[in-house]
Amino acid sequence: MSSNVPTPARIRSHALQERAERFFPGGVNSPVRAFRAVGGAPPFVERGEGAWLIDADGNRYIDYFGSWGPMILGHAFAPVVEAIERAARNSASFGASTAAEADLAERIVACYPAIEKLRFVSSGTEATMSAIRLARAATGRKIVIKFEGCYHGHADGLLVKAGSGVATFGIPGSAGVPEEIARLTHALPYNDLAAVDAAFDAHEGKIAAVILEPVVGNAGCIPPAPEYLAGLREITEREGALLIVDEVMTGFRVALGGALELYGIDADLVTLGKIVGGGLPVGVFGGKRRFMDLLAPLGPVYQAGTLSGNPLAMAAGIATLGYLQEHAAEIYPRLEATARAVAEGVAQEAAKAQVPLTLNRVGSMWTWFFQSGTVTNYEEAARSDTAAFGRFHRALLEQGIWLPPSQFEAAFLGNAHGDSEIRATIDAARVAFAAVKVT
């Protein structure tokens, strides 16, 4: 049973948590939701409205994780809700092709020139594991390079020094992953091109692909150093390996064309998710035609999924991406300005309170690292004072501000966040920083 003592304002959430613990490990279906890294009892969400979440006790919270990224237009955004309702009237699933699949694909390809063909799946994990299988088939090689703190889903070969919950709980990988599989994944420091060159020298002709988050979001927000992404593109082209850019988090968030557009780079394969599904479960892997045509039924690489291209998810994605495309000129500058105001405003309050804090931000995703040093890779991120972050998180939650419950998860906001939410957050942070200094 949960050992957390509920506040009077969250009695029903506490009861729901105790009930959930009878059925689910830790009472949750995804580990970070358990609040083990920040302490306190997690609220149980009943509904969302724009920038706000409302829990089972009727408490309202400004939402700064947005279902971990996809709610860029806000919760219960009317055009998305209406699109899902229309699709549901025709059936929730067919297991057969529908025109909506190509309708959504057309919108994705229009924003991502690197994607000539794609395939829909149901999660980011499916997308990345499929992209790696494709890269191995295309190159005839086995080794994959990833970067410490980058999270690409929970497939066996990708949990080596991963971010997200793996970083949150301080474990190097996962039990149940055979050594034979783990040895095929080489984890290198992010933002270090020399380490990548050295790996290719040490394993000449054996590396199939380099996979990375172009902006790390699962060790906290860590931007790429100048020329880092271009350097990776140059190395992989020289060595005959594929560059897989995992934009599950950054896709359609840091720009309409994601990080590829923002940083002006190309990729052999791209993975997408979150925003692409408008809040419903969707993943995408796509890229150059010569690689994608290796997939069955055209080629020898097998990948399949009963719910791939699910009509409800396609409808939500079409409505979301359609709105972003139509209103990009207003939405992305607004997201930039709003995120800058709240992220820098809170950082200024930390400075006034003499609380060590480092802000990393790219567009509408950011992290307040509780430390004074720069954060350019996972090793530096791990030096953060996670106990101080936990106190900060709890103090904000009690004031109706809900951050991601981990120092090592990026925060997000959406188009529904406005001036009143910014002011409320900065005011709450002013109060919270007093709690941070209490040890």
Q: Which residues are catalytic?
A: 151, 246, 274
| Residue 94 CA: distances (Å) to CA of 56, 80, 106, 312, 375 | 34, 20, 21, 11, 47
User: Strand, coil or helix: what is 336?
Assistant: helix
On the 0-12 / 13-18 / 19+ scale of CB atoms within 10 A, 156 is middle
Nearest-angstrom CA–CA distance, 42 and 419? 27
Nearest-angstrom CA–CA distance, 225 and 398? 36
Residues counted in the chain: 439
Write b or e for each residue in 293-310: b if 16 or more Cβ atoms lie within 10 A of its Cβ, otherwise e. Answer: eebeeeeebebebebbbb
In this structure, the number of other CB atoms found within 10 A of the CB of residue 337 comes to 12
Contact 46, 386 (CB under 8 A): no
On the 0-12 / 13-18 / 19+ scale of CB atoms within 10 A, 85 is exposed
Q: Look at the block and give the residue holding tokens 């067919």.
A: 94
Nearest-angstrom CA–CA distance, 264 and 55? 41
Which distant-in-sequence residues (6+ apart) come within 8 Å of 54 by Cβ?
A: 45, 46, 47, 48, 60, 61
User: Strand, coil or helix: what is 295?
Assistant: strand
Nearest-angstrom CA–CA distance, 427 and 430? 5
Contact 160, 187 (CB under 8 A): yes
